[in-house]
Structure 1
Amino acid sequence: METNSDKKHVWDKVNQWEEELLFLKAIIDKTELVETIKWGGPIYVYNKKNVIGIGGFKNYFAIWFINGVFLKDEKKRLINAQEDKTKSMRQWRFTSKEEVNEKEVLEYILEAIENEKEGKVIKPSKKETIVSELLEKEMLQNPALKDAFEKFTPYKQYEFLEYIESAKQEKTKLARIEKVIPMILGNIGLNDKYR
């Protein structure tokens, strides 16, 4: 007899997608990723870092790219399944084996591995708050700049601050501030043009 709690448990990782997931695994096996089981499903790691995961849901099966935010995604395959929860994870959903284009999937996975090798990760912004005294000073003199800056998400604020403060010399920092002021006032994130 089915209780309600059984119904809730929609996602038992493979359900009807066993064959499709094996097909994805066969593609992933051509890369240097190592399969591990985490969170009850297969996660593929490079150098102990999680790169991708695969799983079956009720209406689709998917590959998710743990740091998918950095993928170029020229073919527009990826979606952010949980806008509010995850900044970096992206999902590629399929509803049939025919939809899986091996060459494309491999391209995306290899790019994800490359990004991992380059150490592209979103740093948890809670860890270290970057303070830019020079930018603070600008904002004191220019309230419109302060308002505009505060409209950005914490992550985008962090990108600006990191960009300014990663310069070694004060004159470089000032030059970078000059460069970002029009962007901030125009509500353009530092990396928007690449996103």
Structure 2
Amino acid sequence: MPTLDPRVDAYIDRAAPFAQELLRHWRATVHAHCPDVVETIKWGFPNFTYRDKILTGMAAFKAHCSIGFWHGEAAVGADHAKGGAMGDFGKLTSIKDLPPKAEQKAILKRAMQLIEDGVKARPARASAPKPPPEVPDDLAAALRANPAAQKTFDAFPPGQRRDYIDWIVEAKKAETRERRLAQAVEWIAEGKRRNWKYENC
């Protein structure tokens, strides 16, 4: 029986229905072909490690999912690699977007072999820096009303500010946005980054 991390269950349960099906499929596929895999949460997303190295990871977003491999195209193969920030298979909206099942198995086996052979992970891609995130008016006002939060937010690097801004602006309902806004200001005032819960995972 595979060892399942309840944090991964919670992550999948929070995802949109289309994403839940895809994430559950990938999770089961990884366990089926790599019985020694260990589940964890890294950078706020479910990851699967093999021999203490990251084998593959998955993430759900508002309208798509992504699946990535630590060894990138070396694991996936040139025929399937789409790469980029959307994972090695590109933007996924259903199981049909994945390679055939036999290919999924072959890719996982290849990724495992790369780890067994001690092959180093793919080099980081050089990318143009993103422009500083634009702070929405409601967050700016809430920060002004809380000097401690304002000071911490101003000291955050752009990526950490962007994490909070994206979380707030992606809310679909006004009440959800208000709840996230209040939670964000509370955490920021305490010096916490957006994904602070997972930082010691």
Range of TM-score over shorter length = 0.3 to 0.5
* Larger Rg, first or second structure (1 or 2): 1
Bigger relative CO (Cα 8 Å, ≥ 6 apart): 2
State the TM-score, normalizing by the size of structure 2: 0.46
State the TM-score, normalizing by the size of structure 1: 0.47
